[in-house]
Amino acid sequence: MSTTKVEELVRRYVAAVADLGVDEAEVAELLDPELELVEHPNPISPTGSRTDRAGALAALRAGRELLAEQSFVITALMVDEDRVALQATWSGVTAHDRGPLAAGTRLMAEIGAFVTVRDGRILRHETYDCYLPPRSPAPERR
């Protein structure tokens, strides 16, 4: 694939994952059957995780249940053949209370990620998520 096509694929992938209303099949189509998703330890996943395509799609569904909204803003992206390094800011708002997080809590993370592409699909996604302190929702005024 050309550098431009690799970049377009990764941008489509990030946009699809960010869209809480996207059809899961649309995301699945972007993923190689042998996908490996590696999340390094962070406050949300203290031990980190390593999963396959089915696990990545399950995580997509879990995010839809937890979040009322989310966004990924890519701030830098570099392509080297079939590998992409990207920097992004992620933001999400919880849809309901979950553990210590009240509904409406804003979560933010600065992300560094490396993505490998094979045959027009995402083969590997390794992410380093640096979470900022959660921002509690503003109290209701009476």
**141: in domain:** no
pLDDT of residue 99: 85
DSSP of 1-19: --HHHHHHHHHHHHHHHH-
pTM of the predicted protein model: 0.91
Q: Does 125 reside within a domain?
A: yes
Position 138 in a domain: no
Edge-to-edge strands, sheet with 49-51: 49-51, 31-39, 121-131, 106-118, 83-94, 67-80
DSSP class of residue 98 equals B
**According to the model, what pLDDT value does residue 138 have?**
67
Q: What is the CATH number of the domain that holds 36?
A: 3.10.450.50
How many domains, in total, are found in the chain? Answer: 1
- Tens-place pLDDT, residues 40-63: 998 888 999 999 999 999 999 998
- Res 141 pLDDT > 80: no
Q: Give me the domain span that covers residue 62.
A: 3-131
The answer to the question of residue 99 being in a domain is yes
What is the average pLDDT across 100-112?
94
* pLDDT for the residue 9: 98
In contact, 93 and 68? CB cutoff 8 Å:
yes
Interval 22-46: pLDDT, tens? 999 999 999 999 999 999 998 888 9
In a domain, 48, yes or no: yes
In a domain, 142, yes or no: no
The residue whose two tokens read 């059957």 is 33
Query: pLDDT at position 36, please?
Result: 98
